[in-house]
């Protein structure tokens, strides 16, 4: 072992490495402090001590932006590996201990946020000693998190191509045209896509799996919707429909409560609903903790219930 590495090992603390990694990840002292529940002066002091340990600056600040120095980039590669290895070691130790002190991190596409929290609540009632952290985003964001190995597992609409992941289908996700119950087309039978020509459409943002899929269907059928609003998320689409702002193509399970109350109506359009699915995915070779496996079991049970749903 070289003298320089020995010096880092002697003088740097694990907390300093955690603070350093958080700043490098967020490109911000303030965001790192928030993420770690520390004060900004504490974060600055930890970085100062770590810089002194390696006898070189590890960050430089230009305006309000924080950047890694060359030494910082070298250190970051090593520190990230150390912290990832500690997480893996913790999971393996938890397997030996059983459930105590377990942790689960997952990311889900926005359509799944309507049923996953209920399952997490059930899971945490059974296992209050386990911490669960869930991130929500569109498909593009989930692919980015998969590439960075941020989570234990993922729930998304289509397994990403070109990534080294295992995936399995676990629930049906029908996609259909939905309108407000007061809309002029509500209740009409035997509609075709071209009966919707000229209607105001509420569409998801670019990067959404639903939008990508439905655009392929529209292109195949030679149909071009009149997009009135582009909304970033299913809840925004739901609220737009409740205000009778137009027609949308949506995941029907995410609107189930509003449909069952009669506030929203699924249009009878030829060829719809289109059946999509939710998939569970995780990196190949990932060692899932017992807690992750138990949560996945509950999600699969909920997936069976959702698959019985039909409109």
Cα–Cα distance measured from residue 116 to residue 254, given in angstroms and rounded to the nearest whole number: 11
Say if residues 87 and 41 touch (Cβ distance below 8 Å).
Answer: no
User: Are 167 and 193 spatial neighbours (Cβ–Cβ below 8 Å)?
Assistant: no
The values of phi and psi at residue 51, to 5°, are -60, -40
Cβ(99)–Cβ(130) below 8 Å: yes
Q: List C-alpha distances in Å: 288 to 40, 90, 296.
A: 34, 11, 10
pLDDT at residue 308, as a whole number:
61
CA distance 289 to 276: 29
CB-based contact 267:185 (threshold 8 Å): yes
Look up tokens 């393996």; give the residue. Answer: 92
Report helix, strand or coil for 126.
helix
CB 146 within 8 A of CB 283: yes
At 160, which helix (H) or strand (E)? none
Pull the structure tokens for residue 147: 């590439």
| Model confidence, pTM | 0.62
How close are the terminal C-alpha atoms of the chain, in Å? Answer: 66
Lookup result for tokens 């029907």: 252
| Averages of pLDDT over each 10 residues, the chain, 311 residues | 60 89 91 88 91 90 87 91 84 65 86 91 90 90 89 88 87 93 95 93 86 89 91 88 95 90 96 90 83 92 74 49
Please name the helix (run of DSSP H) or strand (run of DSSP E) that holds residue 121, with its range, or none. Answer: helix 116-126
Both structure tokens of 45:
């002091």
Chain centre to alpha carbon of residue 183: 33
Dihedral sign for Cα 126, 128, 131, 134, please.
positive
- Cα–Cα distance, 135 to 113 (Å, whole number): 9
What is the structure's pLDDT at 99? 61
CATH numbers and ranges of domains, the chain? 3-82 (1.10.10.10), 95-170+277-307 (3.40.190.10), 174-276 (3.40.190.10)
pLDDT given for residue 282 in this prediction: 87
pLDDT for 209: 78
CB 299 within 8 A of CB 116: yes
Give the position of tokens 């249009």.
267
């Amino acid at each position: 072992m070289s003298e320089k590495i020995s010096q880092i090992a002697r003088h740097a603390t694990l907390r300093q490495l955690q603070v350093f990694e958080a700043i490098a990840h967020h490109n911000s002292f303030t965001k790192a402090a928030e993420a770690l529940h520390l004060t900004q002066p504490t974060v600055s002091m930890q970085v100062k001590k770590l810089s002194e340990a390696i006898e070189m600056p590890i960050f430089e600040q230009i305006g309000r932006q924080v950047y890694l120095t060359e030494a910082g980039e070298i250190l970051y590669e090593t520190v990230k590996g150390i912290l990832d290895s500690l997480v893996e070691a913790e999971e393996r130790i938890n397997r030996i201990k059983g459930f105590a002190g377990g942790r689960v991190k997952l990311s889900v596409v926005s359509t799944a946020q309507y049923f996953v929290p209920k399952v997490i609540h059930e899971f945490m009632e059974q296992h209050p000693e386990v911490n669960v952290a869930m991130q929500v985003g569109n498909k593009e964001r989930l692919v980015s998190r998969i590439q960075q190995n941020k989570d234990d597992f993922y729930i998304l609409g289509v397994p990403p191509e070109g990534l080294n992941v295992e995936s399995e289908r676990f629930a049906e996700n029908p996609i259909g045209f939905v309108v407000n119950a007061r809309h002029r087309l509500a209740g009409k039978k035997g509609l075709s896509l071209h009966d919707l020509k000229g209607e105001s459409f509420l569409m998801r943002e670019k990067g959404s799996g639903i939008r990508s899929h439905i655009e392929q269907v529209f292109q195949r059928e030679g149909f071009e919707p009149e997009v009135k609003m582009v909304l970033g998320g299913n809840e925004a689409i739901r609220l737009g429909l409740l205000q009778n702002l137009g027609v949308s193509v949506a995941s029907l399970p995410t609107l189930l409560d509003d449909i069952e109350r009669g506030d929203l109506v699924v249009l009878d359009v030829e060829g719809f609903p289109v059946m999509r699915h939710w998939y569970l995915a995780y990196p190949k070779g990932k060692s899932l903790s017992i807690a992750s496996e138990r949560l996945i079991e509950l999600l699969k049970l909920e997936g069976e219930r959702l698959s019985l749903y039909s409109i």
